[in-house]
Each structure stands twice: as structure tokens, then as C-alpha cells.
Amino acid sequence: MNLHELRPAAGSRRKRKRIGRGPGSGKGKTAGRGEKGQKSRSGYSAKIGFEGGQMPLHRRLPKRGFTNIFRTEYRTLNVEQLNRFEAGAELTPDSLQSSGLLRKGKQGVKILGNGEISVALIVKAHKFTKAAVRKIEAAGGKAEVLS
């Protein structure tokens, strides 16, 4: 096989439908828009969620609850994921992010107590669960809360 013999898979590429190009095309005259009505006019665009004048679903459903705009969101990490570091290492949110364990975004870091940890580490994070603190200290490490 050579470069000049390469072709797309059969049926994977289709020609663009050319509408409004005469009666022989099968999409002439009204160009597939049917007869009359709002949708046949030029410049028509439906608003997102528009249901033809019927009360839209997002307005028919009852509003419930409350969203606290001051809520602090945390990126979470389990203690078992910390086993990859060498003993005595000091882990901060920045070092965890640069190692690829944490994504960017959200304000704080919370360490959860899922799994086991066998390495003594100094872990600095904004929040810890009780189980996480217990497991980090049992492994000979230290859990420091950042403000």
C-alpha cells in the first residue's frame, strides 16, 4: 500500500446535501422546510427548551432546595494513593497537583481514609477525615491542616 492508494472507508464520507437547487434535486422550492409556518421563514431559530408555546419543561417542574454560592469545594484524594511517594516526603496541594494526583480547579484538598498507607509522610491539606489522620499517623507520618 502506498500513500496515493489510501482512501477513506466506504460510506464514511458523504457529500453535503445541497438544498434549494431546483426540482431535480428533490430538495428544491421549499428546500425541505415544508409549507408556511414559523419554521419555514428565514431567520428562524428556536430558543433552547422552546416547546412551541407550551410551558417548557424547566418551568413546569417545581423548584426545590437551595444552592450556597459561598460553598467551598474540595478535590479529594484517598490515603492509598499516597503510597507512591518516598518515606519522609512532604506533600502539599501544589506537589500533589504536579505529580498528577490532583486536577486543577476547586479551592481546597481533602484527604479521605480509603485504603491503607504504608509510608511515613508529612501531608499538608485543607481537610482530613478522621480515618485518614488515624492511618497517616499509624504509618508514622503527620497530617497538617492548612488554613
125-147 tens-digit pLDDT: 999 999 999 999 999 999 999 98
Number of domains the chain is built from: 2
- Cell numbers 431535480 correspond to what residue? 24
Q: What is the mean pLDDT of residues 45-59?
A: 93
Q: Are residues 78 and 125 in the same domain?
A: yes
Q: Are residues 26 and 89 in the same domain?
A: no
Q: Are residues 85 and 37 in the same domain?
A: no
What is the pLDDT, as a whole number, of residue 137? Answer: 95
Mapped onto helix, strand or coil, the DSSP state of residue 111 is: strand
- Whether 124 is covered by a domain: the verdict is yes
- Whether 68 is covered by a domain: the verdict is no
Phi, psi dihedral angles at 86 (to 5 degrees): -75, 155
pLDDT band at 24 (very low <50, low <70, confident <90, very high): very high
- Whether 102 is covered by a domain: the verdict is yes
Q: Are residues 24 and 81 in the same domain?
A: no
Q: Are residues 23 and 83 in the same domain?
A: no
What is the pLDDT, as a whole number, of residue 138? Answer: 95
- Whether 5 is covered by a domain: the verdict is no
pLDDT band at 64 (very low <50, low <70, confident <90, very high): very high
What is the pLDDT, as a whole number, of residue 107? Answer: 85
- Whether 62 is covered by a domain: the verdict is no
Q: Are residues 35 and 79 in the same domain?
A: no
Domain holding 116: CATH number? 3.100.10.10
Sorted by sequence, the CB contacts under 8 Å of residue 121 that are 6+ apart come out as 82, 85, 87, 88, 89, 90, 91, 136, 139, 141, 142
What is the pLDDT, as a whole number, of residue 21? Answer: 94
Question: Who wins on pLDDT, 1 or 125?
Answer: 125
80-127 tens-digit pLDDT: 999 999 999 999 999 999 999 998 887 899 999 999 999 999 999 999
- Whether 98 is covered by a domain: the verdict is yes
Which residue range forms the structural domain that includes residue 39?
Answer: 18-43
Q: Are residues 38 and 95 in the same domain?
A: no
- Whether 32 is covered by a domain: the verdict is yes
